[in-house]
Structure 1
Amino acid sequence: MRVGLRKYVHVNLRDIEDARFKDGEEVSLETLKEKGVINPSGREKKLPLKILGEGELSKKLTFKARAFSTSAKEKLESAGCSLTVLPGRKKWVKPSVAKNLARAEEYFAKKRAAAAASEPASA
């Protein structure tokens, strides 16, 4: 067991099955809160959703979560569910570092364009 702050709100497939979702319904952090499957409090209110693979699912649902465990992904894909992985938050970068990264990207983009332009001439 890993000690420390949790990074996700975890929900098992068996909990989703018990929540009595209908075929084709969307399973997301909001719908799980509405059905009473999860009741995050404090810091957990800001955490993204992770679907875990304990249990089985008998319905074809649409999932929207930040992460899926390997076993959950396999079970959901075999059940014909559609999975959407939500994007994470971008890491904050100091403005001066962001400026330097943008300059570097611009510099290397020009280099790549110049290399691509000269390549057909030499071939």
Structure 2
Amino acid sequence: MHAGLPKYIPVNLKDIETAGFQEGEEVSLETLKKKGLINPSGRERKLPLKILGDGELKVKLNFKARAFSASAKEKLEAAGCALTVLPGRKKWVKPSVAKNLARADEYFAKKRAAAAAAESTSA
């Protein structure tokens, strides 16, 4: 049912460069809306931001987005920009499943601790 629907609002580096951000400014969904770079309507209003690597960036900016493409991350880190990955919404799970997952995490944490203790005593 969700096959052709977008998961993010994509923005390329070349569009951010032409928007005229100054050194040290924050690039987020809100600031891009204020600059008129994106105008989400309908379903898109609830979508998170994804930065794509098409283009170059010459100024250091502070980015806040849900996702970065590999090329964008590489280019932004090379330019010295600060990247903040915003957390996504947690997927809803039935309470009984959540309880079982918590039990499994606890069980495997104990197993890892026991294995680490056994390894440190034998070494």
Asked whether the two chains share a fold, i.e. TM above 0.5, the reply is: yes
Give the letter aligned to residue 38 of structure 1.
Answer: I
Please name the residue that 2:13 is paired with.
13
Deviates more, 1:112-121 or 1:21-30: 112-121
Letter aligned with residue 54 of structure 2: E
If the length of structure 2 is used for normalisation, what is the TM-score?
0.86
How many pairs were matched up?
121
Tell me the equivalent position of 2:56: 56
Structure 1, gaps ≥5 residues long: none
1:74-122 CA-to-partner distances (Å, cap 9, x unmatched) read 2211211111111222111111100111122223333334444455555
Rounded to whole Å, the distance in 1 between the matches of 2:14 and 2:114 is 55
Distance in structure 1 (CA, Å) of the matches to 2:4 and 2:58? 34
CA distance in 1: counterparts of 2:7 and 2:79, whole angstroms:
27
Question: Runs ≥4 in structure 1, deviation > 6 angstroms?
Answer: none
- Provide the C-alpha distance between the structure 2 equivalents of 1:76 and 1:66, rounded to a whole number of angstroms: 15
Q: Tell me the TM-score normalized by structure 1.
A: 0.86
> Which amino acid in the other structure matches residue 55 of structure 2?
G
Cα root mean square deviation, aligned: 1.8
2:8 counterpart letter in structure 1? Y
| Other-structure match for 2:73 | 73
Deviation readout 1:25-83 (Å, 9 max, x if unpaired) = 00011111111110101111111100111122121101111111122112211211111
Instruction: Please give the residue correspondences for 1:22-61 in structure 2 after superposition, counting only pairs within 5 Å.
Output: 22-61=22-61
SS in 2 for 1:107: helix
1:105-120 superposed matches below 5 A: 105-120=105-120
Q: Alpha carbons of 1:39 and 1:106: their partners in 2 closer, same or farther (altered >3 Å)? A: same
Unaligned runs of 5+ in 2: none
Identity %: 81
